[in-house]
Copies of this chain bind each other. A is one copy, B any other.
Amino acid sequence: MKNIFVTGGAMTPFGRHAGVLAPELAQRAILEAMNDAGVEARDIQAIYCANVLGGMILGQLIVRDLGFGGIPVYNVENACASGATAVHLARHAMMAEQYDTVLVFGIEQLTALGGGTIPLQRNDHKTELYAKAGMVLPAVYAMRGTRFLHERSATPADLAAVAVKNRRHGSLNEYAQQRTEATVEEVLASRMIADPLTLLQCCPSQVDGAAAVVLRTRRPAQGRAVKLLSSVVVSGIRERADDDILDAEITARAARQAYEQADLGPQDLDVVELHDAFTIAELLYYEALGLAPRGEAVALLQSGATRLGGRVPVNPSGGLLAKGHPLGATGVAQMVELMWQLQGRAGARQVEGAKVGLTQCTGGGIAGVDHAASSVHLLGV
């Protein structure tokens, strides 16, 4: 695979950015990422904008006053995996030797939409049916949680422990929306959203944020070069009545392909940023990514291996649960976090000596599209 380097990156703090419009928010991340990469507008040959709910030609509206001279702008959407998908499409073009230097950014302003879960589409009868039946994302994950507790003889406290860990991590991250720690008792005592998932087990839906990376085919002259080792996007297979809802098939498949591309395995990972939209998701992804054998997710969590200081810290940024989940931005922000980790720039949440990292995003997962997208990237120094 052609060498592609993450030569610079930045993100805005994730949180409520009231009164700031999307272009301004995204521009902050973009300009800082370009500065971090040591590139100017004239160096960039193409721009990929990841966004879900911001509307038509958002990328162009964001970059129009930044001095880019007529280069292509591509707007990419893949639900919560939009940011990762944008990186993936940028890589295609770089592998095809169309561009040497590209800017990829993600942006979402969920506070502009009011509260509640992500708005569902009403494009087909099946979605309509699912939405009316209450099958929004928290409900889907709650069903997985319930099944998990039953099959694994796990307890609600085991789920809550994921939030405890990630909020602890988030308390160390100045970019995280949630910066207060919580105990298992506090997590369990928070408002019930969809049994067994309490409020602190669901990623915040009232959050804005943007993140940007500069990808180049040339190794940077200075600093520790972070290489994109693999990049995979897949879609889910259609639902079947006998589907195992604890088997994150799509993510397992994406991970297998990503490991194969890089000729690495889960044992090689030093740090992971994964899609903990709900506590149960992190446990399922431990298994899908091969961090734990099937059935051993809770044991892995309890061993302390996935917390800062452990063997393979997962979501040192605080993850979606603590950092927040501005949809289009998330996949790009995961990559920025890993870049910082692999360059030793992650401050209080630094994973010491991290050499190889993995990011994972899923998108969709409603209305029987389980899931619409999953993306796994491996980065290394």
Contacts and interface: CB of A to CB of B under 8 A. Distances in A.
Interface in A51-89: 52-58, 60-61, 64-65, 68-79, 85, 88-89
A121 interface: yes
Interface in A338-376: 363-364, 367-369, 372-373
Contacts of A153: none
Contact of A77 (B57, B93, B124): B57
Contact of A89 (B58, B74, B97): B74
A52 B77 CA distance: 10
A21 to B, nearest CB: 5
Interface of A: 21-24, 52-58, 60-61, 64-65, 68-79, 85, 88-89, 92-93, 95-98, 118, 121, 123-125, 127, 233-238, 250, 253, 363-364, 367-369, 372-373
Given A53-B56, A65-B238, 16 more contacts: A22-B123, A23-B123, A23-B124, A54-B123, A55-B123, A56-B79, A57-B121, A58-B123, A61-B367, A61-B372, A64-B369, A70-B235, A70-B250, A72-B235, A75-B76, A75-B78
29 contacts: A22-B124, A53-B56, A54-B123, A55-B123, A56-B79, A56-B118, A57-B78, A57-B369, A57-B373, A58-B121, A58-B123, A60-B373, A61-B124, A61-B369, A61-B372, A64-B368, A64-B369, A71-B234, A72-B234, A72-B235, A73-B372, A73-B373, A75-B77, A75-B78, A76-B77, A89-B89, A92-B96, A93-B96, A96-B96
